[in-house]
Structure formats: structure tokens, C-alpha cells
Amino acid sequence: MGRGNNNELSEAEERAAHETFQALLERYGEPKTLNPPVNLAARITSQLPNARPAEILRRERRRLLGRSLLLWAIGLTWLVLSALGLWGIMVDSSLPALLVGGPQTALGHVVLAITLAAKPLFALFSSINLLVWVVGLVTVIALGWAWWKMLTQVQPMVLSRNQL
């Protein structure tokens, strides 16, 4: 029938399928056009910002750039602090603080505090039996999966109800 693969129709088949589908729609009185609310266009126009489109776009781009820079900065800071904390735990608690001017400076104080706070947590995690870790991890994953399934199955029902 001149078909390239399983799903590709020839032109004649495509035309026939198109016409049959149109006939089906017609039986249901479709395709029909809904009239939008009378004042919708006026409402949209009244909400337009005063600035020119180019200016709005520039502002939007600046805002997005600022946001991504902030996110990068937060991520990088977190990464650096984690690396310093790990170094402090594995090697020497005061070394990371010394890198930023020593424990007597404000920043050094913060780094030292993070390093020291991480120490007992690290000790706690390393003291737990490997089996407990595995069982805990499997439980967390199973609960997460069950929660996700519940959300994805309930959502469509809730949303279709909310649309009415």
C-alpha cells in the first residue's frame, strides 16, 4: 500500500482517514467554536504593562539571569562548604577555618562551626550497621514510590473534578 513503515499512511489512506474522522466529528456536532466571554479581550488589554515589549523582555531576561546567578552562587557555596567540612572531619577540624583567616574571623568562625557540627553527625552515620543502612534505604525508596504512585493516580481525578 505504499507505506514506509507501520504507522505511515499513503496519501490516499491519509485522505480517507481524515475524511472518516471529520465525519465522526460531525456526528457529534464538532468541530464547533466556543464564544469567549464578551469582555475577555478588554480585560486582557487593561492588564497590559505600560512599558514597550522590548523593555519588558529585557527586564525579564535580567530577572532570569539574576535568578540563575543566585542559584549557582548558592550551589557553589554549599559545595565548597561541604568539601571544607569533609576535609575538616577527615583531616583536621581547624584547617578549613584557617583557609578563610582563622577561627577568630567571622567567616572562619562559621566554617569552624560547620566542621564541628558535622563531626558528631558523621560519627553517628558511620556507627550504624551496614544492614540497617540498606534496610532503611530500601524502606525510604519503597515509601517514596508508593507516595508517588498515590499522587499520580489521585491527581487526574482531583483535577478533572476541579475543572468543572
Partner 1 sequence: MQQLGEETQWIQAALQGDQEAFARLVEQYTSSVFNLCYRMLGSTHDAEDATQEIFLRVYARLGSYDLNRRFSTWLLSIASNFCIDRLRRRKFAWVTLEDTAFMLPSSEAGPERRALQRERADIIQAALQSIPSQYRLVLVLRYWHDLSYSEIATLTGLSESALKTRLHRARKQLAEALQEDGATLWDVETTTS
Segment interacting with partner 1, rule: CB under 8 A, options 25-33, 65-73, 90-98, 114-122: 25-33
Among 12, 14, 92, 107, the residue binding partner 1 under the rule CB under 8 A is 14
Does position 146 interact with partner 1 (CB under 8 A)? The reply is no
Written as one letter, the residue type at 9 is: L
Does position 34 interact with partner 1 (CB under 8 A)? The reply is yes
CB of 27 to partner 1, least distance (A): 6
Segment interacting with partner 1, rule: CB under 8 A, options 55-63, 68-76, 101-109, 120-128: 55-63
Could you please report the per-residue DSSP string of the chain? ---SSSSPPPHHHHHHHHHHHHHHHHHTT-S--PPPPTTHHHHHHHT--SS-HHHHHHHHHHHHHHHHHHHHHHHHHHHHHHHHHHHHHHT-THHHHHHTT-TTSHHHHHHHHHHHHHHHHHHHHHHS-HHHHHHHHHHHHHHHHHHHHHHHHHHHHHHHHHH-
Interatomic CA distance for residues 110 and 101, integer angstroms:
11
Count CA atoms within 13 Å of residue 18 on its CB side. Answer: 7
CB of 7 to partner 1, least distance (A): 4
Interatomic CA distance for residues 146 and 140, integer angstroms:
10
Does position 153 interact with partner 1 (CB under 8 A)? The reply is no
CB of 5 to partner 1, least distance (A): 8
| Residue 51 vs 99, nearer CB to partner 1 | 51
| Residue 52 vs 124, nearer CB to partner 1 | 52
| Residue 25 vs 91, nearer CB to partner 1 | 25
The residues of the shown chain that bind partner 1, judged by CB under 8 A, are 4, 7-9, 14, 16-17, 20-22, 24-25, 27-28, 30-31, 33-37, 40-41, 43-45, 47-54, 56-57, 60, 151-152, 154-155, 157-164
